Amino acid sequence: MALTARQVATEKRPGTYPDGGNLYLKVAKAGARSWIFRYMLAGRRRDMGLGPIAFVSLAQARVKAFELRRDIWRDKQVADLPLDQVDPIEKRKTAKATITIKASTPSFAAIADRYIAAHESSWSSRKHQRQWRQSLDAHINPAIGTLPIPDVDRAAVLRVLAPMWTTIPETASRCRGRIEAIIDYAIASGLREGPNPAAWKGGLQALLPKRSSIAHAKPVHFNALPYADLPEFMTELRALPGAHARAFELMVLTCTRTNEVLGAKWAEIDFQARLWTVPASRMKGRREHRVPLSTAALAVLDRIKEAGRASDYLFPGRNSNAPASDMALLLVLRKLGRKVTAHGFRSTFSDWVTESTNFPTEAREMALAHRVGSQVEQAYRRTDMVERRRQLMEAWAQHCGTQLSNNVHPLRATSG
């Protein structure tokens, strides 16, 4: 019954020629030749196409027929069905449908883009936005970005985390949290079901060591300048020309964060009330923050005004409709040759208040825009101590030293 390669290549008579093992060569009236797998389903004969001889050789057709017979037998054993109730054609249709569904299902990377688009407007810092993108591009998407979102399982998450969990635990922990947030978004959007494979409790907690147990996974603190060295630093800072140096000076005097000072707009400044109101949208805690302006801080603002308002922003970037980037303040520190961070000056202020003044802790924490007390205490607190903090800001400005009276470089209207 077995066919030969020559017969397959030369047979032109229309008909169906058996090779054995459910495999047949079918010759059409027009002379086209192809392979079929013939089997019985519920007492009826069914023919399953395996491809034309131009693409499927006799040897390949026999292998396909063997695999189909094996699959039918396995399915019969698993489902405990008679042989003539297992249908490989329907199985193939289901497999094709699954592939089609997966092809149309968004990938993890696509869902990550949707998540960022949905949430980035609520993020107070452009630095936070960049960190999200950087962790996705550098660590997450190369491993699982192309996977359909339903296929991101715990093994896939571990492919991302395991290589860096003990070497760069801080980055790994942030990546885990971001993967969890993206998958939560997919679940809420109806794009997948079941538990989140990136969840720590009840999942990864049993597979990865706690960060606290990793020898070098200690908290990273921002490098801060000792408060005793601050007057000298401010003298050097005030001698630098340019708007970026003035931005740094204002940030130190007001104890604000980099994105808060760089994103400051003239409309937020009330010169008569000597107040700067930072909107909740730009605050880390998502609450409006009133900053009492010391005499020194107002002097900085006056110097900026003298250069002319070419933008709504105090410190515009190259595009006057957007603020300067975080790199502006980093460049100021590089010019001064200081191995400290911009954020570290908030720690400098905190240490100074604690060790050198009698101002209450609440005033210090409110000056830093930190939440003070329990939720109940916050609900009943009706004041942000702005007048008490005004005294604190004046004392802080005095510690920072007086404005330079001689040899002051003029402020340029362009970015420094």
Helix axis angle, 386-400 to 230-238, nearest 10°: 80
Number of C-beta neighbours around residue 92 at 10 A: 13
Find tokens 């707009």 and name the residue: 265
Chain-centroid distance of CA 178 in Å reads 5
Nearest of 118, 313, 339 to residue 222 by alpha carbon: 339
- Which residues are bridge partners to 39 per DSSP? 46
Residue 24 forms beta bridges with which residues?
18, 36
CB 14 within 8 A of CB 29: yes
What is the distance between the alpha carbons of residues 140 and 117, in angstroms, rounded to a whole number? 18
For each of the domains in the chain, give its residue range(s) and CATH number, in order of start. Answer: 5-102 (3.30.160.390), 108-213 (1.10.150.130), 227-400 (1.10.443.10)
pLDDT of residue 136: 92
List the pLDDT tens digit at each of the 416 positions of the chain.
689 999 999 988 999 999 998 999 999 988 899 999 998 877 788 899 999 999 999 999 999 999 988 888 777 766 565 655 667 778 787 777 666 555 567 889 999 999 999 988 777 667 778 889 888 998 999 989 988 898 899 999 999 998 888 888 888 899 999 999 999 999 998 888 889 999 998 889 888 888 766 655 454 455 788 888 899 999 999 999 988 999 999 999 999 998 889 889 999 999 999 999 999 888 877 788 999 999 999 999 998 888 776 788 888 888 778 888 878 888 888 888 888 888 889 989 989 988 888 988 888 989 888 877 555 445 445 567 888 899 999 999 999 986 544 444 444 434 34
- Own/partner long-range contacts of 386-391 (Cβ < 8 Å, ≥24 apart): 386/275, 386/290, 386/292, 387/292, 388/359, 388/360, 388/363, 389/292, 389/363, 390/274, 390/292, 390/294, 391/359
CA separation (Å) from 139 to 60, 69, 117, 192? 42, 44, 20, 23
d(CA 65, CA 145): 37
Distance CA 345, CA 348 (A): 5
Phi, psi for residue 290 in degrees, rounded to 5: -95, 130
pLDDT given at position 411: 46
Answer positive or negative: Cα dihedral of 298, 303, 305, 311. Answer: negative
Backbone angles phi, psi at 388, to 5 degrees: -65, -40
Sign of the four-CA dihedral 77, 81, 85, 91: negative
Q: Closest by alpha carbon to 226, among 336, 349, 331, 333? A: 349
Cβ within 8 Å of residue 25, ≥6 positions away = 3, 7, 8, 11, 16, 17, 19, 33, 34, 35, 53
